[in-house]
């Protein structure tokens, strides 16, 4: 089947295809030459951002603003889980390679959706407990007949692109530590580049390169220094830490690993032969708890330039020195050129969590410009001379609580943005999520669970308008929103915006058809006029969307594909009335002009009732339960993906509750025993709080 599909792709491109060439045809035929010339091969989506520039712009224009009303479903492919879906498919010569939750991979006929092969890395379900933000996977890489995927348990696997057979499997992390991998690998000159996740859980970040043929490690670069008493690591980062980076840390940061995980964006700059790496937040978040409130803490919240062959350091730009809000620099980076003072300058553009849009000279990491693309209240500005933010001192919440915007969720997170060279605009799925932070002066380490050093408050009187907690919550709800922002990176201003009533957004795709595609968590997949934002088309998938779409062509027909399945940090920690709880299985939706695919929308859903009981508990027990719930439970159980504990029948049975929370009988589903972190009394107190809160909310809704 793959040989037939490759033959069809050859003929569609006007190339001769004989019996001999069929024998020589290679599935997943991607190499350096093809990627360097990807812009002249618009039928394929060969890399994570389509090209090494990662602009997520398709030059295809068969589907355009003039005929978008004819866009119809071509086919769907249902996945085997309702966990979060964030994958960007790869399409090579008519074959689609797509990863799903739990790090599974499938190959499909890109024109019909027929499954060609399926791979399951058989990850232990208990590992889901170490995934801060769901068991998502953002995609695969394809190179010279191999498909590469990172797994949630920290492995890097190479598969045969034609058969899906496993070629090699290497462990990239210390699996006794709470590392995970959710990001898409990148391949540069025969080396597979991969990072990892787990900063909140208590790990030390790094980025690795592996030989694409053998799986042997080529180099490693740690993004934060280790314990100085242990000496050099034997890594590419040793030289730079010895020179200056260790001096930017204080205290005993290594006890929590330090953080700095490389959990998403890695970009190869072919023009300057450098690897640009986005580095994440600290562990714990709170600068005081992590580093005694001292030092810049390199290379947290930084863009690093490394030599792709050796991992040697070139330069860095740190967005947030002494990072303390979970402001990461792991967000997508786009490479382009910009005229600066009459000179055409190679730049990297990023819209990170901290709400400023950065344009950086990628020759040396110097800052060209930075302006806020979303609401923020932590900095007055970014100083263009020093490159450092001019912070609002109170925003560090060292002496008093502070309502910070954006919160750690970020003004832009993992949802891909896109850049159209036709309009000159970057299309940013922006968010406005405020949160009240307070220094947790009694912070204690809980390796394997969330470590922030922050107490997240229901804003007390004085932080926000309102005389009561309810009024203050209502105010927060009113300013919590999202936007699709069409940003002019040269002028550093928005050309148009579309405001959402909810903060969460899906990724974007720009095309030469003067279109911008974006999915939303309400389940709609939408198309807009790229020039002015006019809504043009919409399709209801019944599944919240956070991934970014792609476009490709097979046999002369253009397709648009999107992976739908609400999840990630948003799907685990937030919920709204329009969300399905639990959500249905994820699904791939593929569209073309005058498509004849069929999809029947799901019927309305009836939520399970809030649990009720005749049991009574003391106020002290309920208060202890609330504190424990907020510290250990809410991050995973406050959204539609995982069970809503306020509606869980387990809460009505003390024995059943204990078997889940303390004995770990559901560990295969990711619900491991919490005995290492809480006591049986705390577990029972959480049950008391859940029952009390369920009763309160049921009473409110009945009024």
Question: For residues 599 and 78, is the Cβ–Cβ distance under 8 A?
Answer: no
Annotate 675-690 with b (16+ C-beta within 10 A) or e (fewer): eeebeeebbbbbbbbb
C-alpha distances out from residue 131 to 135, 199, 396, 546, 580, Å: 6, 10, 27, 17, 22
- Nearest CA among 186, 212, 216, 183 for reference residue 198: 183
Q: How many residues does the chain have?
A: 703
493-500 vs 282-283, strand pairing mode: unpaired
In the sheet that 402-404 helps form, which strands lie side by side, from edge to edge?
402-404, 435-439, 454-457
In angstroms, the CA 243 to CA 690 distance is 52
Please list the alpha-helical segments (H only) found in 532-669. 568-573, 619-632, 634-637, 654-661
Is 133:568 a contact under the CB 8 Å cutoff? yes
Query: Catalytic annotation on 233?
Result: no
User: Strand 508-511 vs strand 57-58: parallel, antiparallel, or unpaired?
Assistant: parallel
DSSP 447: B
* Ranges assigned E (strand) in 242-293: 258-259, 266-269, 274-278, 282-283
- Location of structure tokens 């990148």: 186
Residues 6 or more apart whose CB falls under 8 angstroms from that of 689 comprise 622, 623, 624, 625, 626, 628, 629
Give, in order, the Cα–Cα distances in Å from 257 to each of 237, 252, 288, 329: 16, 9, 15, 18
Q: From the candidates 55, 134, 326, 522, which is the catalytic residue?
A: 326
| Paired tokens of 596 | 């004849």
Q: What CA–CA distance (Å, rounded) separates 187 from 350?
A: 21
* Token couple for 455: 């107490």
CA atoms of 126 and 454, how far apart (whole Å): 27
Q: Who's near 249: CB < 8 A, 6+ residues apart?
A: 224, 225, 258, 291, 295, 297, 298
Contacts 24+ apart (CB under 8 A), 355-358: 355/405, 355/406, 355/411, 355/412, 356/319, 356/382, 356/389, 357/426, 357/428, 357/487, 357/489, 357/492, 358/317, 358/319, 358/382
Residue 585 near residue 652 (C-beta atoms within 8 A): no
Residues 297 and 556: their CA atoms lie apart, in Å, by 52
Give me the phi and psi of 359, to 5 degrees please.
-115, 120
**Torsion angles phi and psi, residue 656, rounded to 5:** -65, -40
Residue 673's CB: how many other CB atoms inside 10 A? Answer: 19
- Cα–Cα distance between 689 and 629 in angstroms, integer? 8
Alpha-carbon distance values, 467 to 185, 461, 472, 480 (Å): 50, 7, 7, 19
Catalytic residue numbers, as ranges? 326
């Amino acid at each position: 089947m793959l040989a037939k599909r490759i033959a069809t792709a050859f003929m569609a491109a006007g190339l001769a295809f004989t019996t001999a060439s069929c024998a020589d045809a290679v599935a997943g035929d991607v190499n350096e030459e093809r990627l360097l010339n990807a812009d002249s091969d618009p039928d394929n989506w060969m890399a994570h951002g389509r090209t090494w520039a990662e602009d997520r712009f398709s030059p295809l224009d068969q589907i355009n603003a003039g005929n978008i009303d004819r866009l119809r479903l071509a086919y769907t492919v249902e996945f085997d889980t309702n966990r979060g879906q964030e994958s960007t498919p790869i399409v090579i010569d008519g074959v689609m390679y797509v990863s799903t939750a739990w790090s599974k991979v499938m190959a499909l006929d890109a024109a019909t959706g027929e499954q060609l092969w399926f791979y399951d890395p058989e990850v232990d379900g208990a590992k889901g407990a170490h995934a801060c933000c769901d068991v998502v996977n953002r995609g695969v890489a394809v190179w010279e007949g191999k498909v590469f995927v990172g797994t949630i348990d920290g492995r890097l696997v190479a598969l045969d692109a034609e058969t899906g057979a496993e070629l090699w499997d290497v462990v990239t992390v210390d699996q006794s530590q709470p590392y995970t991998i959710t990001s898409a690998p990148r391949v540069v000159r025969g080396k597979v580049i991969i990072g990892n996740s787990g900063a909140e859980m208590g790990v030390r970040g790094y980025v690795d390169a592996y030989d694409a043929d053998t799986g042997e490690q080529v180099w490693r670069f740690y993004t934060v220094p280790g314990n100085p008493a242990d000496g050099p690591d034997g890594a590419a980062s040793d030289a730079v830490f010895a020179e200056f980076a260790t001096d930017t840390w204080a205290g005993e940061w290594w006890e929590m690993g330090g953080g700095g995980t490389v959990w998403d964006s890695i970009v190869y700059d072919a023009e300057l032969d450098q690897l640009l790496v986005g580095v994440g937040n600290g562990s714990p978040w709170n600068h005081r708890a992590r580093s005694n409130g001292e030092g810049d803490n390199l290379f947290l919240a930084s863009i690093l330039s490394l030599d792709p062959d050796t991992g040697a350091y070139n330069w860095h730009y740190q967005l947030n020195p002494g990072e303390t809000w979970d402001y990461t620099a792991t967000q997508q980076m786009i490479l382009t050129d910009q005229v600066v003072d009459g000179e055409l300058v190679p730049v990297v553009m990023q819209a990170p969590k901290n709400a400023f849009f950065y344009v950086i000279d990628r020759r040396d990491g110097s800052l060209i410009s930075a302006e806020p693309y979303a609401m923020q209240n932590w900095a007055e500005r970014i100083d263009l001379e020093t490159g450092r933010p001019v912070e609002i001192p109170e925003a560090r919440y060292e002496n008093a609580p502070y309502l910070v915007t954006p919160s750690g969720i970020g003004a832009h997170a993992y949802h891909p943005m896109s850049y159209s060279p036709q309009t000159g605009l970057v299309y940013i799925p922006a968010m406005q999520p405020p949160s009240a932070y307070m220094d947790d002066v009694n912070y204690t380490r809980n390796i394997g669970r969330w470590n922030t050093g922050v107490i997240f408050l229901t804003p007390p009187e004085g932080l926000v308008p309102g005389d009561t907690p309810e009024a203050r919550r209502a105010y927060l709800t009113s300013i919590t929103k999202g936007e699709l922002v069409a940003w002019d990176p040269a002028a550093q201003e928005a050309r148009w915006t579309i405001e959402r009533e909810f903060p969460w957004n899906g990724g974007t795709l720009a095309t030469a058809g003067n279109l911008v595609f974006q999915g939303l968590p309400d389940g709609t997949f939408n198309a807009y006029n790229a020039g002015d934002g006019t809504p043009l088309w919409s399709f209801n998938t019944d599944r919240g969307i956070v991934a970014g779409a792609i476009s490709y062509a097979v046999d002369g027909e253009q397709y648009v594909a999107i992976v739908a399945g609400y999840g990630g940090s948003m799907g685990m920690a937030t919920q709204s009335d329009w969300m399905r709880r639990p959500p249905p299985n994820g699904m791939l939706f593929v569209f073309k002009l005058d498509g004849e695919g069929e999809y029947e929308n799901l019927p309305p859903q009836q939520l399970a009732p809030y649990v009720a009981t005749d049991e009574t508990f003391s106020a002290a027990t309920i208060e202890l339960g609330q504190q424990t719930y907020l510290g250990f439970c809410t991050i995973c159980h406050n959204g539609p993906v995982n069970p809503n504990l306020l509606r869980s029948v387990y809460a009505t049975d003390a024995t059943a509750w204990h078997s889940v929370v303390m004995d770990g009988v559901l560990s295969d589903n990711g619900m491991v025993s919490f005995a290492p972190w809480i006591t049986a009394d705390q577990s029972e107190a959480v049950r008391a709080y859940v029952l009390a809160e369920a009763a309160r909310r049921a009473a409110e809704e009945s009024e």
